[in-house]
Structure 1
């Protein structure tokens, strides 16, 4: 449901302005009672009815306006979250500038909630401050120019001091949110590595650091609260002085001690009471603005964080809406690869690949070798569309790798990274990754062929922990191989360091399983393992920022 942006604020301002006729009725009733008790009683009854009806109308406008403003704030926050998550989703998991998962989750899920009070409390208070005090000032000036002058001189001091305090409040809120995001990122990282911390006996040191971070966050939070209380104290001081001065003037004027300040005629009791009742209402919007000033500071800091998540980074190749087409069953088993003059660099860093050429025949197996940082993982990521080349052309089966083809091409790829992630769920869920086209029979065959059947028998029906808690490195590697085998349409296998951190016996088993799964398919493996390199017929060695590669067959692609 769409809302007119200004309507909710206008309804809330109108509800506040209804105090003017209510105050007029009350002042008229009291003035009538003071003049003639009998007549005043009849007037009081009519006044009570009028005040009641205006009160019901005021409550209705207030509720309606608050609902509209709140719904607008929630819709705006939803849109901001969608944009932020879409921007994060379009950034490559290999982007070095990508925010940490814990920090990004804190910004999107928790810190972003501060935007709702900013829109639902501060902005309505801002509208009331712009509309209500001028209306009240005009109503007071009709009866007494001196009372209006007192209010007019008192009002500018409040936003002036609030602005001075507010600048510091915004900075303190930003510091608090940075500290909060850092604490979330630290906690998530330590939870992921809890097994390692226990093995190294570092649990107590981690707890001490976590306690230290918590104390730092507490100090920053209390600093924000102190500034917020200071802002309220400034408002209450000047508003109390303004109301007191008006009350003193009205009192002495009605007693005849201060006869000036009106438009020729002295104020009646009803007029004096009307002006006196409007004086606190003149400062009420400013009081609400002060109470919501901290919401503004927190909301702007949260908005800046969401904008930070949307900053451009290293992007993936994103599929267009109509790019996913059914895979042709008669297509050849392997996938051909052609890379011409490909350049890639992380941001402003030196290029990882420069003028890179590579040609791979369908069904060919080759090892991508080279020193760390030479671009082995980058090369695999470029072929998977997880990174975008700055220059050059990449073609798979003769099709350019772009938004129009990536959806269909990715259906025919399978990826195994250096650190396969295990999700909380069953063995079947971690194998299929919720792919509908993988049936139960194929999962059973896949687990058996990938050498993980022993794990299935050891953990029948058990839910695996997040990150593979309790599984060995070899078991995680075999489960990653099972994911490769469970994709029936995979024609290109991209594998990154499959035997890293494995003992020789387990590594040999993983190599045998990988080569068995890759029969008839195109296989690219980034590796330092000499045993794995010896099993592959072709090697492509990458040099640091090289324009050429060295091929084991003596060719220069």
Structure 2
């Protein structure tokens, strides 16, 4: 998950990922500590016991040898069904967790719309489905144990019948030295249950096998179809800031597309001078945000070259180049914690003074809930939408102390004109002496840039209004 692009559209839902990592991955422990040793004992111990029994009586050994294969055969048949049931249970569990997390995040909206009862009914139905699938898994687990006990009991009983009749003189064959002694007969009878004991242990761990293999598949599926994060293969690699002269940004013959979708941009080229402020301007869906993400090394390149400060962006250089960038997305997330921790997210070493200065620059100094010691809820509970954007701007200001390239995505989206103007003022102040590339469809913000790059087709009427605003 850490090596995947944060903008990967195939990224698993948070609830499903948490279910796999926190719950389903636990199924690997009994799979490794119980099932695997039991499998090795099944492969070794019965053979040793069978050799000891065959030394005294080939008939008793033949009975055990015929009974033993029936157990794994029927357990394998049951196991196929057990694995399918375990996979269905884990899928249902992940879906329920994802559903619950999504509804908890939108609880305020559900209450406002009067949809709490409907959500509770659906959650109850989902929990009922999970209960049914869990009981199906347990039924199959009990069935596998019953299969083992049945054939184990039959095998021991047949050996006991043979030994008893042999000692009574009713069956004269089956022993290598004519007739078994009482001690030899008791020895065979004592070994017969021990012959099936490893199989009994395997049966007890058979459900662990089904759950463990289903968990391995679930973990493996999290990596399928992943968009890799450039330079994310080793997130522990040390990265140092290289801030200096504002870098030039050169894009040549860029092909921009999401996996399995049509190209958004094809053969696109762009050159941004050091310290220049550029707006990527265009309607929604024209590729502004994706282009910005590719420049930030958050999405892999499909084709073309991107150079930042003369260094080509690739897997080897992405981490180092990101160290000189400051990023502000259009949907900033606020974590549960203090304002100090949220503003200093990109630079934990930031002092309280730097955080105070960033808050003032973002225009949050008059907001009671935005002083550094204030505590915020998950998702910015306690702040309005505009205040959350200003908090992200304060993050940008703190990060800009170590960065000379600012990449900003739709900083004024969904804001009223006055708030958008204040955000624009703060952004221009932060970008002073740095290279700035901002994706926007706000004509007033674009007009404050040194240059505007139009992306995507625009209707003539809208184009005329945009040109008037830029003028």
Structure 2 length normalisation: TM-score?
A: 0.92
Q: Name the CA distance, whole Å, in 1 between partners of 2:372 and 2:254.
A: 47
Q: Does 1:359 align with 2:274?
A: no
Secondary structure of 2:255 counterpart: strand
1:171 counterpart (84, 87, 94): 84
Secondary structure of 2:407 counterpart: strand
Q: Does 1:302 align with 2:215?
A: yes
Q: Does 1:347 align with 2:259?
A: yes
User: Which string of whole-angstrom CA distances, capped at 9 and with x for unpartnered residues, describes residues 379-418 of structure 1?
Assistant: 1101110012121111112221234433332222111111
Q: Name the CA distance, whole Å, in 1 between partners of 2:249 and 2:83.
A: 53
Q: Does 1:280 align with 2:197?
A: no
Matched residue, 2:57: 144
2:374 counterpart (455, 462, 472): 462
Secondary structure of 1:306 counterpart: helix
Q: Name the CA distance, whole Å, in 2 between partners of 1:436 and 1:147.
A: 73
1:324 counterpart (224, 239, 247): 239
Matched residue, 1:227: 140
Stretches of structure 1 that go unaligned for 5 or more consecutive residues are 1-87, 545-549
Q: Is the 8 A contact 2:340 2:372 kept in 1?
A: no
Matches within 5 A, 1:209-288: 209-288=122-201
Deviates more, 1:223-232 or 1:206-215: 206-215
Greater relative contact order (CA < 8 Å, ≥ 6 in sequence): 2
Q: Is the 8 A contact 1:325 1:407 kept in 2?
A: no
Q: Name the CA distance, whole Å, in 2 between partners of 1:460 and 1:515.
A: 23
Q: Name the CA distance, whole Å, in 1 between partners of 2:241 and 2:330.
A: 30
Deviation at residue 459 of structure 1 after TM alignment: 5.8
Q: Does 1:430 align with 2:342?
A: yes
Secondary structure of 2:59 counterpart: helix
Secondary structure of 1:377 counterpart: helix
Matched residue, 1:202: 115
Matched residue, 1:192: 105
Q: Name the CA distance, whole Å, in 2 between partners of 1:225 and 1:436.
A: 48
Q: Name the CA distance, whole Å, in 2 between partners of 1:458 and 1:338.
A: 38
Matched residue, 1:510: 423
Q: Is the 8 A contact 1:323 1:406 kept in 2?
A: no
Q: Is the 8 A contact 1:427 1:456 kept in 2?
A: no
Rate the CA distance shift 1:443–1:456 in 2: closer, same or farther, 3 A.
farther
Secondary structure of 1:357 counterpart: strand
Matched residue, 2:449: 536
Deviation at residue 466 of structure 1 after TM alignment: 1.3
Secondary structure of 1:184 counterpart: helix
Rate the CA distance shift 1:460–1:343 in 2: closer, same or farther, 3 A.
closer
Q: Name the CA distance, whole Å, in 2 between partners of 1:453 and 1:105.
A: 37
Secondary structure of 2:306 counterpart: strand
Deviates more, 1:460-469 or 1:275-284: 460-469
Matched residue, 1:445: 357
Secondary structure of 1:260 counterpart: coil
Q: Name the CA distance, whole Å, in 2 between partners of 1:278 and 1:192.
A: 61
2:43 counterpart (118, 130, 148): 130
Q: Does 1:379 align with 2:294?
A: no
Structure with the higher helix share, 1 or 2: 1
Q: Is the 8 A contact 2:240 2:323 kept in 1?
A: no
Q: Is the 8 A contact 2:364 2:370 kept in 1?
A: no
Q: Is the 8 A contact 1:323 1:404 kept in 2?
A: no
Q: Does 1:406 align with 2:314?
A: no
Deviation at residue 230 of structure 1 after TM alignment: 0.8
Q: Is the 8 A contact 2:369 2:383 kept in 1?
A: no
User: Which string of whole-angstrom CA distances, capped at 9 and with x for unpartnered residues, describes residues 507-535 of structure 1?
Assistant: 22222222222222222222222332333
Secondary structure of 2:88 counterpart: helix
Q: Name the CA distance, whole Å, in 1 between partners of 2:112 and 2:445.
A: 30
Q: Name the CA distance, whole Å, in 1 between partners of 2:371 and 2:281.
A: 36
Deviation at residue 502 of structure 1 after TM alignment: 2.2
Q: Name the CA distance, whole Å, in 2 between partners of 1:358 and 1:323.
A: 31
Q: Name the CA distance, whole Å, in 2 between partners of 1:457 and 1:183.
A: 34
Secondary structure of 2:169 counterpart: coil
Secondary structure of 1:147 counterpart: helix
Q: Name the CA distance, whole Å, in 2 between partners of 1:306 and 1:236.
A: 34
Matches within 5 A, 1:60-75: none
Q: Is the 8 A contact 2:252 2:306 kept in 1?
A: yes
Structure 1 length normalisation: TM-score?
A: 0.78
Q: Does 1:525 align with 2:442?
A: no
Deviation at residue 430 of structure 1 after TM alignment: 0.4
Matched residue, 1:121: 34
Q: Is the 8 A contact 2:49 2:191 kept in 1?
A: yes
Secondary structure of 1:454 counterpart: coil
Q: Name the CA distance, whole Å, in 2 between partners of 1:524 and 1:113.
A: 45
Deviates more, 1:390-399 or 1:101-110: 101-110
